[in-house]
Amino acid sequence: MVNLQVGKPQPDLMPLEENYSLKRHNTFGVEAIARYFAPVRHVEELAEIAIGDLWKSMPVLVLGEGSNILFTRDVGGLVLKNEIKGIAVMRETADEVWLKVGGGENWHQFVMFCVGNHYAGVENLALIPGSVGASPVQNIGAYGVEVKEVIEEVGAWHLEQHDLMRFSNADCAFGYRDSVFKHAYRGKLMIVWVVFRLSKHPRFRTGYAALREELERMGVKELSLETISEAVIRIRSRKLPDPAKIGNAGSFFKNPQVSMAQYEALKQRYPTMPAYPGEHETMKIAAAWLIEQCGWKGYREGDAGVHQHQALVLVNYGKATGQQILSLANRIQQSVYERFGIMLEREVNVW
């Protein structure tokens, strides 16, 4: 059991590097230069930003594991790399446990920690790339589970006011791949810790056909946190390219939500169109299907392309620039809009 302090102060000042390459800090593997770069390992180090006037005149970008960002230009300011670690048990009962987790922890490793300790609630979210601090921003979700279901509280440092803010679950205003951190507080916070409320009595979520089919292929007779997470890992490993081999940021676009009227009209024209209920009496359309119908699956232009097995994933085959990948994304959006009347929304952040 790991029981670390999140934000333990250190005597050394926050290290600062100039003209720093961000290529290895983004999973697309595109080149971009940060004017200044600093890894943040403790909350107290963030207070150092307030000391000098230099940072007030330039942009500040918070970076986790770089799995949800596309750099199309250099960063003419300060990049703060969230490396705040630690997993601490805050509270525990016979039925539940509350974990306070540093924002710089790797998300998948945290999921495996929970599975190994028999804490239920995040097993369906295995192998999602990124950091714990990014999970509430995006309200990550997969196979019938969203992280909002297990988040109790979020602690974030306000980069302009230079103080720590606390957000309850309700304060986060979670939606489909959405939260208050993407709107009112966009670019203003670093999430330094997240409190998760997890169960000691699993309630297995196997509503997705792909998950049930994988469990059958595995010959699973009795469900467990281990078998659920393993099934998810196998599915994701088959469907999505490994960023270590092919640069990508996972799903580039969100699945669009349309009104019931628009859905019915589309269904008349495209009877095989995959869709499922969304939020607020909407239907969620499979973006990958829309993109594939427009002929983009497997498309490649230079080193920028669309993955041959998953049309939602844009890839860098080697030396593509962020601008080339963005240009491809824009053309995909336009073609889907022209054919279906749906404007796809990017899931990946563009700098």
Residue 222 DSSP SS3: coil
Q: Is the separation of the CB atoms in 335 and 327 below 8 Å?
A: no
Domain boundary among 186, 218, 239: 239
Question: In this structure, how many other beta carbons lie within 10 angstroms of the beta carbon of residue 25?
Answer: 19
Both 264 and 223 in a single domain?
no
Expressed as residue numbers, the domain containing 270 is 247-350
229 is known as an active-site residue: no
Q: Which of 334, 329, 331 lies closest to 314 in space, CA to CA? A: 329
Q: 176-230 pLDDT, tens per residue?
A: 889 999 999 998 999 999 999 999 999 999 988 889 999 999 999 999 999 999 9
Both 309 and 190 in a single domain?
no
Label residue 310 exposed, middle or buried (CB < 10 Å: 0-12, 13-18, 19+).
buried
35, 149, 177, 327: the active-site residue: 177
Run of H or E residues at 217? helix 209-217
d(CA 54, CA 70): 26
Both 118 and 39 in a single domain?
yes
347 is known as an active-site residue: yes
Residue with the two structure tokens 């969100």? 254
48, 96, 149, 347: the active-site residue: 347
If you count them, how many residues does the chain have? 351
212 is known as an active-site residue: no
Both 69 and 175 in a single domain?
yes
Both 103 and 214 in a single domain?
yes
Mean pLDDT for all residues in the chain? 91
Both 285 and 176 in a single domain?
no
| Phi, psi for residue 157 in degrees, rounded to 5 | -90, 125
Highest mean pLDDT among 154-163, 257-266, 325-334: 325-334
pLDDT category of residue 54 using cuts at 50, 70 and 90:
low
Both 97 and 119 in a single domain?
yes
* CATH of residue 33: 3.30.465.10
Domain boundary among 193, 209, 239: 239
Q: For the whole model, what pTM was predicted?
A: 0.85
Helices 225-239 and 107-116: angle between axes, nearest 10 degrees: 150
d(CA 178, CA 249): 17
> What pLDDT, on a 0 to 100 scale, did the predictor assign at position 59?
86
Q: What is the mean pLDDT of residues 47-55?
A: 66
67, 179, 229, 251: the active-site residue: 251
Domain count, the chain: 2
> What pLDDT, on a 0 to 100 scale, did the predictor assign at position 280?
81
